[in-house]
Structures are given as structure tokens and as C-alpha cells.
């Protein structure tokens, strides 16, 4: 389609697209160069790093609280908090995220994807200063509540912005990369705490606490250059801005190239049809719509399962209470514990990217989830047995401590290949535009509820049951495997507007995109 086409010709082509199957491979321009040597693609993916780092802020907090528990100055300053106080310090962060998620979801739909991120980043920097300056337990807990509230603002908007802004053939990997950046923050926090672990004053924990604000500050500086979501612009009737944005970032600004223009026309038409048919739904949709149809109920159940069991598949015991786990097998030195924590986060990051995010379009989402849960189940068995033997007779089985650490890494590997990259990428994919923000809210809410429960229960259960507590997660993992097998569909190879057909059938696809359109992204990925 060229700029000289008449309105009738354009309308005729739109009508034809409803009859003729249109593959993305038929309209996407062939690019002889890899994306990283294509200026507009490389620059777009570089800018997407800014919202991708939002998960790193959450990762920093989880690793920070884990590492602080190993520092003697922190324990002394807060009077050696018991399991209840420790659970409150951890859980209050998730309570804050639940409080912030409702306003954040409303702002994402009403004011765009970027504005909630701006607000969240500014307030996060202030909250980290408050945490680093905490004078007592109450002040520390209040600062963590504020951190949770404003983390919700950036966490709600960022993965949606990434999914809606990424180049079509990069969308799956880009959204999967979002949650893997959790480990960037975790690595930063773990090694920051390791670096201050030799200090004997309160600065040993104040410095890492203040450093938590550096990631939001970095995002704040560069967020200005990140474009707004074209889907949100179209939903607001700002079609010219959306087209200019897509032409610049997906088409390289080459509006004199007929192939590029046809590709951008295809993207605009697909998004416009999806958004136009949902404009009324977007104004009237409430959270009850998540349960009104069989397809939406299935989506919501999946979102809740992914969110809740990301924390209750056994990995939460290590995420926030690695110190207690290591204590159970006789590894008690602060330097040893912080070193293991730092190495574990680097391992997690590499596994989540190389074996997880980069594999989702080759192996598929469903297969990764199934392999992940099966692998965690087997490694958890070994972890439980070794911990039990060591606890029974630590003198006889003193060499098993290293085996427990090894299986912690193995268990994390299987967690990393699915739950890390797909925690948000999968829910973002399965919900249509009008429900996407609310669907992400369901995932986050179930995640935070799972976190709150586990952060209160885990330290108490670990204190009273020790290694026997691990048996609970063996039962959970066994049941979770079958839940995934029967409920989770494969979404590989479909655009955001076309996944509705998987849940609602062909009729449901009409409400979100042009009927009959099927995108085989794998056909064109190599060209990009």
C-alpha cells in the first residue's frame, strides 16, 4: 500500500483482509542484517532496557532482605528480630504492592503506560533514602511499605509497555526478558551486601539500602527517551502519533519504501481493529469481566496460578530465607552466606536468559513450564533427603552440606527456565487489550498474596519444622504439574491480537483482531 492509494482502495484492502488469510511473513520487510546491526531495531531494544529494569528493582529488594539477615550489625541494630518481626519486614513490601496495584492499573489505562512509571520511580528514590536512614524497626517497616506501594506503579506498567512497543518478532523474547532482569537487581544487592559484610557499623546495611534507589534513578533519567505504547495512543484516538511512532521504530522511518509502508499499514490495521472493537469494553469493563466468559475464566485462573505458585513452588524458601536454609546445614558465616547468595543470583540470571527467555519461541511456553515443575520436583526430593540426613547426624553427614547447596542451584535452574521469564510474559500474552492491565493485576495480586503468606509462614515453619517443611512443596509441585498440563495452552507463534482464538474460539478472535489471521513468527525471526 502506498501513500497515493485512495480511501476506497484502502477500505477494499481492509475488507479483503477479513476474507484472505494474512501472515505476518507476507508483509514484514525482509531484513538482510541482524537486528543488532539495524539502527532503529537496536536503538528500540536498547530503550526497552529502561522499562525492563523495573523488575530489577523488585529483585534488589528480595536479595537485599535475604542478605541483610546474614549481617550481624543489622540483626543487632534491630534487636535480633524474631520470626514474626522478620516475616513482617518481608511481607510489608508485598502488602504495599497490593495497595498500589489498583491505582496503578487504573492509571495505566487512563493516562498511558509511561506516567505511572514516572510517579513510581520518583517516589521509590525517596523511599529508599528513608529506608537507609531508618532509626528503628517501625521506620524500617514504613519505608518498606512505601517501597512496595510505588514498586506496584512501575511493575504494573513496564511489562505492558515492553509487550506493546517491541518489534513483532521480538515481542516474545522481550517480554520474557522483563522478569529475568529481576536477577540483575538481585546480583547488585547481593554483591553490594557482600562488599559491606566486613563492616561493623550500621553502614553495613545502610549503604545497600540506599543503593536500592540507584536503579530507579537510572530509569528516571532515561525514561524520557522511551516512546509511549502505540496501542494506548490508538485507543486515545491519536492515530497519527501511533503511526509515526511505528514508522520510526518498526519501519526505520522509511516511509518511501512500499514494503515498509505495507508492513506499518498491517500493524496499524491490526491494532486499530482490535482497539476499535474494544473501545466500549474498555470504558465499561470491570474486574468482574475477568469471570464472565469461559475463556476469561480460564485466563484468570492461569494468571492466578502463575502468580501464586511462582512463590509457592518451593523457591520462596530460598528467595527470602536462604540464611535459614544454610543455617540448617551448618553454613553460618556471614561471608559464606553472602558469597553463596551472590553467586546464586549470577547463576539465576544466566539460566533465566540462556535457558529460559531465549528458548520460549523455540520450545514454547507450555513445555518450559512442564519441564520446570518436573525438574524442581526431582531436585527438591534430593534437597529434602540431603537436608534430612545432615540434620539427623551432622557429624556423620557433614559433607552433605555442599550437596544441599548444589541442589539449591539445580532447583533454581529449573525455576529460572520458566517462572522467571514467563511470570509476566505469559499473562500479558493471554489477555486481550481491554483486560490486559487487569489481567496483569491478577497475576501481581496473586503473587503478592502468595508472598505475604509465605513470608509470614516460612520463617515460622522453618524454625519449627526445619527440613521437614520441604515436604509440603513436594506435594504442591506434584499437583502443579497436572494443573499446567490440563490448563495452560501454547501461545507461541501468535500476535497479541490473535491469541483470543485459543481461549474463545474463532468467534472470540473476531473481537480482538481480523478473523482468520495467523502469524507464524518463527518464519520471519531469522530475517530479523
Q: What mean pLDDT comes out for the span 154-177? A: 88
Distance between CA atoms of 62 and 353, rounded to whole angstroms? 19
Which pTM was predicted? 0.72
pLDDT, position 278: 62
pLDDT, position 522: 42
Q: Render pLDDT for 397-417 as a digit per residue (tens, 0 to 9).
A: 667 777 878 888 899 899 999
* Residues in the chain, total: 528
Most confident listed range (93-107, 122-136, 182-196): 122-136
Kindly tell me if the per-residue pLDDT of 157 is higher than 80: yes
Kindly tell me if the per-residue pLDDT of 22 is higher than 90: no
Is residue 296 within 8 Å of residue 290, measured between CB atoms? yes
The architecture (CATH level 2) of 11-523 comes to Up-down Bundle (1.20)
Q: What mean pLDDT comes out for the span 136-165? A: 92
Kindly tell me if the per-residue pLDDT of 526 is higher than 70: no
Kindly tell me if the per-residue pLDDT of 459 is higher than 80: no
Q: Render pLDDT for 207-225 as a digit per residue (tens, 0 to 9).
A: 999 999 999 999 999 999 9
Q: Please report, for residues 240, 371, 528, the alpha-carbon distance to residue 243 in angstroms, rounded to integers and kept in the order given.
A: 5, 41, 21
Kindly tell me if the per-residue pLDDT of 21 is higher than 60: no
Q: Render pLDDT for 93-119 as a digit per residue (tens, 0 to 9).
A: 888 988 998 899 889 888 999 999 999
How do the domains of the chain map onto residue ranges? 11-523
Most confident listed range (159-163, 220-224, 430-434): 220-224
pLDDT, position 324: 67
Burial 349-382 (b: 16+ CB within 10 A, else e): bebbbebbbbbbbebebbbbbbebbbbbbebbee
Is residue 336 within 8 Å of residue 274, measured between CB atoms? no
pLDDT, position 20: 36
Kindly tell me if the per-residue pLDDT of 5 is higher than 60: no
Kindly tell me if the per-residue pLDDT of 78 is higher than 70: yes
Distance between CA atoms of 214 and 207, rounded to whole angstroms? 11
pLDDT band at 7 (very low <50, low <70, confident <90, very high): very low
Distance between CA atoms of 238 and 217, rounded to whole angstroms? 30
Q: Which has more confidence, 16 or 248?
A: 248
- The rounded mean pLDDT for the chain is 82
Distance between CA atoms of 394 and 38, rounded to whole angstroms? 58
Q: Which residue has the cell 474463545?
A: 504
Lowest mean pLDDT among 252-261, 289-298, 400-409: 400-409
Lowest mean pLDDT among 85-89, 136-140, 258-262, 346-350: 85-89
Q: Please report, for residues 363, 366, 368, 420, 492, the alpha-carbon distance to residue 359 in angstroms, rounded to integers and kept in the order given.
A: 6, 12, 8, 13, 11
Is residue 432 within 8 Å of residue 500, measured between CB atoms? yes
pLDDT, position 518: 39
Question: Sign (positive/negative) of CA torsion 515, 521, 522, 524?
Answer: positive
Q: Which has more confidence, 466 or 264?
A: 264
pLDDT band at 516 (very low <50, low <70, confident <90, very high): very low
Amino acid at each position: 500500500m502506498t501513500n497515493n492509494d485512495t480511501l476506497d482502495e484502502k477500505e477494499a484492502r481492509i475488507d479483503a483482509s477479513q476474507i484472505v488469510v494474512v501472515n505476518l511473513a507476507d508483509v514484514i520487510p525482509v531484513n538482510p542484517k541482524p537486528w543488532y546491526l539495524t539502527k532503529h531495531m537496536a536503538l528500540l531494544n536498547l530503550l526497552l532496557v529502561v522499562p525492563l529494569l523495573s523488575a530489577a528493582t523488585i529483585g534488589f529488594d528480595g536479595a537485599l532482605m535475604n542478605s541483610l539477615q546474614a549481617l550481624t550489625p543489622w540483626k543487632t541494630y534491630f534487636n535480633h528480630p524474631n520470626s514474626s518481626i522478620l516475616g513482617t519486614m518481608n511481607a510489608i513490601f508485598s502488602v504495599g504492592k497490593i495497595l498500589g496495584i489498583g491505582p496503578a492499573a487504573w492509571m495505566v489505562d487512563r493516562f498511558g503506560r509511561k506516567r505511572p512509571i514516572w510517579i513510581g520511580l520518583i517516589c521509590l528514590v525517596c523511599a529508599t533514602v528513608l529506608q537507609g536512614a531508618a532509626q528503628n524497626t517501625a521506620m524500617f517497616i514504613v519505608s518498606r511499605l512505601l517501597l512496595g506501594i510505588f514498586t506496584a506503579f512501575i511493575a504494573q506498567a513496564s511489562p505492558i509497555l515492553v509487550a506493546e512497543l517491541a518489534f513483532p518478532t521480538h515481542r516474545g523474547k522481550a517480554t520474557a526478558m522483563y522478569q529475568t532482569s529481576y536477577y540483575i537487581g538481585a546480583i547488585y544487592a547481593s554483591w553490594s551486601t557482600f562488599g559491606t559484610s566486613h563492616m561493623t557499623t550500621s553502614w553495613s546495611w545502610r549503604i545497600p539500602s540506599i543503593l536500592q534507589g540507584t536503579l530507579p534513578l537510572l530509569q528516571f533519567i532515561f525514561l524520557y527517551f522511551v516512546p509511549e505504547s502505540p496501542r494506548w495512543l490508538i485507543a486515545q484516538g491519536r492515530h497519527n502519533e501511533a503511526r509515526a511512532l511505528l514508522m520510526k521504530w518498526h519501519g526505520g522511518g522509511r516511509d518511501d519504501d512500499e514494503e515498509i509502508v505495507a508492513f506499518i499499514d498491517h500493524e496499524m490495521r491490526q491494532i486499530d481493529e482490535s482497539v476499535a472493537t474494544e473501545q466500549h469494553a474498555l470504558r465499561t469493563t470491570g474486574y468482574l469481566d475477568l469471570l464472565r466468559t469461559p475463556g476469561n475464566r480460564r485466563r484468570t485462573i492461569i494468571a492466578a496460578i502463575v502468580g501464586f505458585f511462582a512463590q509457592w513452588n518451593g523457591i520462596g524458601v530460598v528467595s527470602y530465607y536462604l540464611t535459614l536454609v544454610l543455617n540448617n546445614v551448618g553454613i553460618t558465616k556471614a561471608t559464606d552466606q553472602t558469597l553463596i547468595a551472590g553467586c546464586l543470583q549470577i547463576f539465576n540470571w544466566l539460566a533465566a536468559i540462556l535457558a529460559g527467555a531465549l528458548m520460549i519461541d523455540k520450545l514454547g511456553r507450555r513445555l518450559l513450564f512442564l519441564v520446570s515443575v518436573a525438574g524442581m520436583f526431582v531436585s527438591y526430593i534430593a534437597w529434602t533427603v540431603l537436608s534430612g540426613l545432615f540434620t539427623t547426624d551432622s557429624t556423620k553427614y557433614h559433607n552433605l552440606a555442599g550437596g544441599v547447596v548444589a541442589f539449591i542451584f539445580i532447583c533454581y535452574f529449573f525455576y529460572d527456565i520458566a517462572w522467571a521469564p514467563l511470570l509476566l510474559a505469559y499473562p500479558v500474552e493471554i489477555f486481550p487489550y481491554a483486560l490486559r492491565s487487569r489481567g496483569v493485576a491478577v497475576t501481581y495480586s496473586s503473587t503478592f498474596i502468595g508472598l505475604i503468606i509465605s513470608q509470614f509462614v516460612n520463617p515460622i515453619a522453618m524454625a519449627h519444622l526445619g527440613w521437614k517443611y520441604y515436604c509440603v512443596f513436594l506435594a504442591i509441585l506434584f499437583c502443579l504439574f497436572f494443573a499446567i498440563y490440563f490448563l495452560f495452552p501454547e501461545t507461541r507463534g501468535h500476535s497479541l491480537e490473535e491469541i483470543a482464538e485459543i481461549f474463545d474460539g474463532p468467534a472470540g478472535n473476531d473481537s480482538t483482531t481480523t478473523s482468520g489471521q495467523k502469524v507464524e513468527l518463527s518464519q520471519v525471526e531469522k530475517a530479523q
